[in-house]
Amino acid sequence: MHNIINNIILTRKFILSICEPLTEEQLNTTPNGFNNNIIWNLGHLIAAQQGICYIRSGLNPVVDESITEYFKSGSKPNKIFTYDEIESIKNSFTASLEQLKNDIEKKLFVNYEPLQTRYGVTISNITEAIQFLPFHEGLHAGTINAMKRLVTLH
């Protein structure tokens, strides 16, 4: 599972590199045709990973609860994120996965409440949860890349 998590970390580092040149305004802009923005997508990837891995296992998230609440599936941005808030999200973006690796080594994920995703995938344990994450990350990486093109057209 460490290899999968390391691949997700690489994906997230790539996503951060895509976002690096963007301004606070661009990260907070919801492009026409979308119902969220780039910073929401970053936060959502963290929240989804926490929900799929920790919360479904009966564990507390390892990130601030405001992230798991604000960016959960079905939510939409309703505020402008400041520089400090954006930096906090960026810091949690890979740190949360490093913590996941440590917690797997500690064998913390002993229980799991099965989940049927909106994509038709049933997740029954932590191994399946981690195997699902790259698919979800890839969907949002594509969305972020499309949004970047739109917010930088000025």
Neighbours of 65 (CB within 10 A): 10
Q: What is the pLDDT of residue 140?
A: 97
Share of the chain above pLDDT 90, in %: 95
> Mean pLDDT, to the nearest integer, of 42-61?
97
Given this model, what pLDDT does residue 154 score?
Answer: 59
Which domains does the chain carry?
2-151 (1.20.120.450)
74-104: pLDDT as tens digits: 999 999 999 999 999 999 999 999 999 999 9
Report pLDDT for 1. Answer: 83
* φ and ψ at residue 32, rounded to 5 degrees: -55, 135
For the whole model, what pTM was predicted? Answer: 0.95
